[in-house]
Each structure stands twice: as structure tokens, then as C-alpha cells.
Amino acid sequence: MLEPQCSPTFATKKMKTVLITGASQGIGRSTAVLFSQKGWNVAATVKDPATTEPFVGNIKIYPLDVRSKQSIDNCITQVINDFGQIDAIVNNAGVYATSPLECISKEDLDNLIQTNINGVLYMTQAILLHFRERGTGVIANIASVAGRVTFPYQSVYHTSKWAIEGLSESLYYELRNLNIKVKVIEPGMVRTNLYQSVLNPVVEKYPLAYRDNFKRWHQYLINNYENGYDPALDAKTVFKAVNDSSSKLRYTSDFMTKMVLSLRALLPLCIFRKMIYSMSKLK
């Protein structure tokens, strides 16, 4: 196993410790930086430490593949050995896909499900014994507005985020009497490299039946991505959620996400679906 990388100002076992998955960029990296600034030890896990930009502050980088239970067990054991305990985990690691379901490859589909769903299940399973033994802990799952509201050409991604919503709500009941809190953070259209790899799909490979609608949807996605909000906003929401001793389950950051979720709750479903269809630029 690769040795974890230590930042210049390594912290102490007297401070609280958070383990964050997918911390190389975007929400995960911003969250790691914020927790460090707030005086926490941070175990920042990344798939490939060699390609990760170094951190400063109380942040230590650990190699982790959330698709591997062995990798998870090794990582958690090392973090506990280094810091004495883990007070919270942030299940942030994830991948994105936008494509007609008919056209997505088995490899991409399997990787998304293994990362976005199995990775959260494996991480949560692995940390629960430690939290039970300590009599406390926080599990913060990064879901998405895509776990509450659906759009076309994201069926596999929606599947994964709806799964995280269901998992989190079930665990909320399951763990409440054990003093283990479950929190769900629901980002909206945040500027993150998560989307970069799919912003230029080879649409010509899709069947003609999908191309025109997908092109319109794809342009809508690009426009929203380019005008998205800074992931530092979600980092603040994660920090707030982890430190919130109340029984609140779900947290959102930006006005647009809150508005869409409010409309989803208030409007008749038939009207809301028409609104989504129109927003998606479909014909």
C-alpha cells in the first residue's frame, strides 16, 4: 500500500478528525481545506496520490479506491492509527455520466454504480463498528439535487443519487438511537471537474433517434455548468451539517437548488414534469 502523504503542518490526536473521500478536486478538496482551516485533522482520500496537488494545513493524503473493500479497510485502519479516532466521514467520491441509457457502455455503467453506490455502502459499513465503539460519529453523504429531481439522459447517474437518498434516510432511523448522525448534502449545478469528462461526448455515435434532443440537452447542461457556483459553497454546507447536533437530515447550498426542490414539493406532478421537459430543451 502506498504510504499516506503528510502535509507540512501535521496535526495532533487531540483534534477532531474527518475522513473525506474523493478529495482531489471539487467539493471534496474544498471541504478538506475548510475543515483544516476550522481546526480539524483531515484524512483526504484520493484514488491516485501521485497526481493530486499537495495540500497545506492539517491534511494528510491517503490512497483509496472506494470500489475495493480491502482498500477501504486499509485506509480506515491507517487513519485511526494516525489520529486515534475518526469523528466523521464525508462520502463524496463519485463519477458522472450523461448519455441515452441505450448508449452507455457496460464499463461506464458498472464504474458509476460501483463508485457512487457501492463505494458509499462499503465506506459506511466499514466505519460503523468504530462509531459504535466510540458511541458517536457522523456520516455525511454527498447526494445531489439529482437524487430528488430527474432530467433526461442522466438515468444511470440519477439511479445512483436516488440510491444514496434512500440509503441515508434508512440509516437515519437505523442509527439514531446509537448517537450516530446521518446527514445528506444535495449539491446543485456546481462548477467541478466531475462533469468535464462528459462535456464533449461523441454524439454522432448515438442513434439518430436521440441526437437532436441530446444536443439540445447537452447545450443546456454546458450553459448551466459554466454558470455554476463555487464548490466552496457546498464545503460550507458540509461543515455545517457535520457540526449540526440537531436531527436534521437534508442540506442544500444554493438558491436554485432550494427553489427547484420547493417546486417539486408544491406543484402537481404533471405540471412539474412539463416544466422539466421544457427546461431540458426537448422536443
Q: What is the 3-state secondary structure (H, E, C) of 111-162?
A: HHHHHHHHHHHHHHHHHHHHHHHHCCEEEEEECCHHHCCCCCCCHHHHHHHH
The total of structural domains in the chain comes to 1
CATH of the domain at 146: 3.40.50.720
Q: Which of 135, 142, 143 is nearest to 180 (CA)?
A: 135
pLDDT at site 200:
66
Domain assignment of residue 135, given as a range = 5-279
Q: Cα-flanking dihedrals φ and ψ of residue 22, to 5°?
A: 65, 45
Residue 95: how many CB atoms within 10 A of its CB? 19
Q: Which residues are catalytic?
A: 157
**Residue 196 has what pLDDT?**
58
Per-residue pLDDT, averaged over 221-227, amounts to: 83
Rg (CA), the chain: 19
| pLDDT tens string 104-163 | 999 999 999 999 999 999 999 999 999 999 999 999 999 999 999 999 999 999 999 999
Q: 59 near 38, Cβ under 8 Å? A: no
pTM score, two decimals?
Answer: 0.92
